[in-house]
Amino acid sequence: MIIQPETVLRDTAIALLPMLVAGFVVGGWFGALGTLATGAFVLLNLWVLGKLIRRVTGYLAGEDPQGSLAVAFLVVKFPLALGLITLLAWVFDGLSVAFGMGAMVFAVFVRGFVNLLRTPDTTANDAPQRS
């Protein structure tokens, strides 16, 4: 089962709430602000990545003639995102930045685990039947 980008965005926003509490416990209001800023950046980055990937896959499938521009934006986005995360870690506490980024990791992990539990067991049907 493929996880849709909208689902990841929603789950990350939900997971950001307990991470904000953790950021506050560890670093006070400044830690919570760092967690919120990083979480907002992660959400924005995921949204942009989802839009760019759709354009790039449309371009590769021959459906979007302007997708080559999306490929260029995708190439530029990665060092830009890395630089902005580094800036956030420099301005805020590194742990609060990790909490903000951890919201996405936690959300993807939980969603993957839930999907794993929903997947039907097909190995039981593969066993040979005795007559």
Q: How many C-beta atoms surround the C-beta of residue 90 within 10 A?
A: 9
| Residue 29 · residue 92 · CB < 8 Å | no
In sequence order, what DSSP letters do the residues of 20-60 get, joined into one string?
Answer: HHHHHHHHHHHHHHHHHHHHHHHHHHHHHHHHHHHHHHHHH
Question: What's the confidence (pLDDT) of residue 81?
Answer: 93
Question: What's the confidence (pLDDT) of residue 58?
Answer: 84
| Better-scored residue on pLDDT, 119 or 114 | 114
Domain boundaries, the chain: 18-115
7: pLDDT strictly greater than 70: yes
Question: What's the confidence (pLDDT) of residue 120?
Answer: 76
Question: What's the confidence (pLDDT) of residue 124?
Answer: 61
Question: What's the confidence (pLDDT) of residue 116?
Answer: 85
- 2 — pLDDT class (breaks 50, 70, 90): low
For residue range 40-99, list pLDDT tens digits in order.
999 999 999 988 888 888 888 888 777 778 888 888 999 999 999 999 999 998 899 999
d(CA 101, CA 69): 28
Of the chain, the percentage scoring pLDDT greater than 90 comes to 50
